[in-house]
Structure 1
Amino acid sequence: MAVRTALDREASWRPRWFWGALAAPGGLWMLLFFLVPFYVVVCIAFGGIDPLFRTPKPAWDPLFWTGNNFSFTWQELTGRLAFLGAPILRTIWYTAAASILAMLIGYPVAYFVARYGGRRKALYLVALIAPFFVSYMMRMLAWIDLLQVNGYVNSIIHAFGLGRVNWLDGKPITVILGLVYGYIPYLIVVLYAGLDRIDERHLEAARDLGLNRTQTFVHVTLPLSRPTLLAGGIVTVLPMLGDYYTNQLLSGSPHTTMIGNVIEGELGNPLLVGQGGALSVLMLVVLLIPLVYYVRQTARASAERA
């Protein structure tokens, strides 16, 4: 409480408009490049089709919004000719498998860097951040080179006397591994940031009470890293659910179509742009649920620490 009072007293010299002015550039950026485009999508989703040119006709005035596109989307999900069920279930399955696999790979890496990096911690961090400097498309193209029939993966398999596998002909495992490969750098950085903030005194107290390294990890480190695991899950799961480019590059098969591919296909058809916008809005609403849960959990944890 004394520390907080001192901080409040230190900041008391600033005028009332200071923090508003400081946040203004970021707020303007969000307004221009997020809220305005999002409003355009919403207007298209609640709009109609121009009867003459057969192109989307946005309804800029909320008073003239209609729910026709949402009705069509609901029919695509539950109607007699429904086809969205399979891509939605497939998306959930691929995302869950990729997220679990990414956690199993990323958590040990982040834990090692945070606890045993030592003087080489900066070098490890550079190696972890390096993939961010390579575009996602280039990394997926590299993955194609690895998995093609004459690629390095098949060369290694063939060296052990096994036959070559066509990994790029619509195999779910390829899409899942591609999702892991594409998003695991984000997960590792988030996990490292959380694990590195765990107070070393908690671990020392556990060892003083007689716990060995394994017991200390299970009973102290792992519980303290739950908020970090939740944050890492949010960072990776949300973009995976809307991903379409990975599946498009590594498979392109209708048997591995995800919900993002459905939205991308509808947005590419002028007659279906409104339905694609409606499906995008519905998906955003669904994705907001885990995000709101994370924000509430974070706020509750912050209140408990205070």
Structure 2
Amino acid sequence: MVVRDPTLPDHVTIYEVGARDGLQNESTVVPVEVKAEFLQRLARTGLRVLEATSFVHPRWVPQLADAADLLRRMVRVDGIDYPVLVPNERGLDRALAAGVRHIAIFASATETFAKRNLNRTLDEQFDMFAPVVGRALARGLRVRGYVSMCFGDPWEGAVAPHQVAEVGRRLVEMGCHQLSLGDTIGTGTPGHVNAVLDACVAGGVPIRQLAVHFHDTYGQALANTLAALRHGVTTVDASAGGLGGCPYAESATGNLATEDLVWMLDGLGIRHGVDLDALVATSTWMAHHLGRPSPSRVVRALGGP
């Protein structure tokens, strides 16, 4: 049954991260030809943004060491955006050589995670990002900014909303067209989501430039997503089949499953353009290749492994 809530957005863009954020956390390396087919199958579901891979150094994320090879092999579909994550100027060089038109950078809202993930202090990370963003914009690329640890940090605990807002403001002023606020370890709750979004808007980042990226460690991802939608957010990150986590945060479980998000959006009468049956079939196919059941409850309910 569809019950439309007029206070919610009419349309939501699903930013699919399964091929990058999902597969980077696998204990084994998925063959590049499987990744290419995964992206092709996802493209057939109606998703319009498919984050393809990352040009992070293979020593840190060996699961994505085949990024350049994947981009050569994959079949791009007209009308679909295929962003890639780049950590620094070396990553940008590789992305430009591969013909990428949309990149993402990955910042931290906390000092400890910046040091552990980027080997920079909270302030120093911006010095690393500035030339990446500047060069990308000069070449006509779009740049997304991820902000991790927005709702909690395993070393520092709770993160103040104003701290998240300050990091986000600096990224937007640098030239990022969109900010994805990440609940990296899944500790956020709806009231906390409201507080962080309020702080970001008060800090000068319009709600139209904000996206959300929730992990389901404590079962809050859908509730947090609904809170963000009520706030006016219209871009939600999700991962087909609930794949993923964070290789730098051991307590983090999978991302919000795209199927679970689609089921909720369907019930709310919010347009998204995705064929749920095709998406479930794709996640079932990938679960077979990974050798384990999909953690998505909707995939399981509709007959997948």
Normalised-by-shorter TM-score class: under 0.3
- With normalisation by structure 2, the TM-score equals 0.23
TM, length-normalised to structure 1? 0.23
Flag the structure with larger Rg: 1
Relative contact order higher in (CA < 8 Å, ≥ 6 apart): 1
